[in-house]
């Protein structure tokens, strides 16, 4: 009896060990297969890709007239005040670590509400040009709401240009609320004729994990004829966000500077708007009340970082209205870290003033910025 019992115990232990080995091997196969799936679906869009101009107009810009342009990161319709994003982390001033919760929007209804709200803000600003970021075409994170088509339908009187800057396979993270597959990009509108548009590829972090989770960063470059033979080069830029130390952003800024310098040397006008993911000057880096510590992801952009003849347009209310909030916690005014990362760079042949538009982050983790400008003869 004792020998039989001992044999059964050994046999039972062997089955448990065998089961553990099988589970471990199955896990390796699943993870390995998923990595192969991600790698096989990974690609970068080529530099200098031609962008289609839809519904192009005939009106041509003139020197001496006043125009307006708005930049707005609509946050794929997810970022209401009660939303936090899983990739965002921070720290309260008392030392408490913070981390966002969600991988996708909280619901289909929230995406529709925030997209409609952002569109309402856009329409009320009544600008000649719009530079929008984080506009989804078909994405699990936004419940497959086609924000591009929705906004384009409402902006039927404008020419439009779209540049894809996020095309990912299914991202099965966070496990509790996967981000999913994404097709999204930069959406641009113009009341004036666009003669040419192209997509310029930014340098990106190609490390093994980051390349699958970050965007295919780029800027959309549009050429608009100006009476007299010059051109306005209008650029919608969205630089890297999760880049501690700012190494990749420095490379991206180098490319952007080279383009601005080249166009300015030709005698063209250059306006760059967008989400720079830099604090737009020392004053706004820590210029707003907050109960959080200064975050590691914030790099500061100053005039010294820009090409000769290019400057940052300071909003008249830049120390009153931030344009971006930390999304590691839900939004409470005066609690979240806030700064100005959205705005405009212009060459010195453009006379311009800017205003940060206060939506109190009702529809996105960003506020819009509106620029009034004049092309100097």
* 2 shares its domain with 110: no
Share the mean pLDDT of the chain. 93
Residues 6 or more apart in contact with residue 80 via CB below 8 angstroms: 106, 110, 113, 114, 362, 363
Give 322 or 25, the one with higher predicted confidence: 322
Q: How many CB atoms sit inside 10 A of residue 205's CB?
A: 16
* 170 shares its domain with 259: yes
What the block records as the tokens of 82 is 């009660």
Is the pLDDT assigned to residue 360 strictly greater than 60?
Answer: yes
Mean pLDDT of 15-29: 85
* 25 shares its domain with 57: no
Q: How many domains does the chain have?
A: 2
* 32 shares its domain with 136: no
Identify the CATH number of the domain in which residue 357 sits.
Answer: 3.60.10.10
What is the C-alpha separation between 179 and 86, in angstroms, rounded?
Answer: 9
For the chain, percent of residues with pLDDT exceeding 70? 96
C-beta of residue 184 within 8 angstroms of C-beta of residue 135: yes
Mean pLDDT of 319-343: 98
* 172 shares its domain with 263: yes
Look at residue 326 in the predicted model and tell me its pLDDT: 96
* DSSP string computed for 5-25: HHHHHHHHHHHHHHHHHHHHH
* 199 shares its domain with 64: yes
Q: pLDDT tens across 100-153, in order?
A: 999 999 999 999 999 999 999 999 999 999 999 999 999 999 999 999 999 999
* 233 shares its domain with 122: yes
* 31 shares its domain with 149: no
Give the strand pairing for 269-275 and 231-238. parallel
* 194 shares its domain with 270: yes
* 108 shares its domain with 240: yes
Domain span holding position 129? 45-375
Is the pLDDT assigned to residue 9 strictly greater than 60?
Answer: no
Mean pLDDT of 63-86: 98
Is the pLDDT assigned to residue 12 strictly greater than 70?
Answer: no
* 146 shares its domain with 12: no
* DSSP string computed for 133-153: EEEEEEEGGGTT--HHHHHHH
* 3 shares its domain with 113: no
């Amino acid at each position: 009896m004792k020998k039989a019992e001992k044999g059964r115990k050994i046999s039972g232990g062997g089955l448990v060990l065998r089961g553990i080995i099988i589970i471990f091997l199955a896990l390796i196969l699943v993870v390995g297969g998923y990595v192969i799936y991600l790698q096989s679906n990974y690609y970068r869009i080529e530099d200098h890709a031609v962008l289609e101009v839809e519904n192009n107009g005939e009106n041509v810009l003139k020197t001496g007239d006043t125009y307006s342009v708005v930049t707005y990161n609509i946050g794929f319709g997810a970022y209401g005040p009660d939303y936090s994003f899983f990739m965002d982390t921070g720290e309260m001033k008392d030392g408490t670590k913070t981390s966002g919760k969600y991988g996708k929007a909280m619901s289909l209804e929230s995406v529709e509400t925030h997209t409609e709200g952002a569109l309402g803000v856009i329409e009320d600003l009544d600008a000649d040009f719009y530079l929008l970021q984080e506009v989804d075409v078909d994405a699990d994170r936004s419940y497959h709401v086609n924000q591009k088509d929705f906004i384009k339908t409402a902006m039927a009187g404008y020419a439009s240009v779209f540049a894809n800057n996020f095309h990912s396979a299914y991202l099965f993270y966070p496990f509790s609320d996967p981000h999913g597959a994404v097709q999204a990009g930069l959406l641009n509108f113009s009341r004036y004729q666009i003669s040419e548009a192209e997509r310029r590829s930014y340098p990106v972090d190609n490390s093994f994990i980051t390349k699958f989770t970050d965007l295919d960063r780029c800027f959309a470059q549009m050429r608009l004829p100006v009476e007299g033979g010059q051109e306005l080069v209008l650029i919608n830029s969205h630089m890297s966000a999760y880049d501690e130390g700012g190494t990749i952003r420095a490379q991206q800024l180098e490319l952007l500077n080279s383009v601005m310098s080249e166009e300015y040397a030709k005698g063209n006008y250059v306006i760059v708007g967008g989400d720079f993911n830099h604090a737009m000057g020392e004053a706004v880096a820590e210029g707003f009340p907050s109960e959080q510590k200064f975050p590691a992801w914030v790099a500061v952009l100053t005039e010294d970082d820009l090409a000769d003849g290019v400057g940052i347009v300071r909003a008249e209310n830049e120390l009153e209205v931030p344009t971006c909030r930390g999304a590691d916690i839900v939004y409470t005014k005066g609690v979240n870290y806030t700064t100005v990362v959205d705005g405009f760079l212009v060459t010195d042949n453009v006379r311009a003033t800017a205003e940060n538009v206060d939506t109190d982050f009702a529809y996105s983790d960003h506020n819009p910025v509106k620029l009034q400008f004049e092309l100097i003869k």
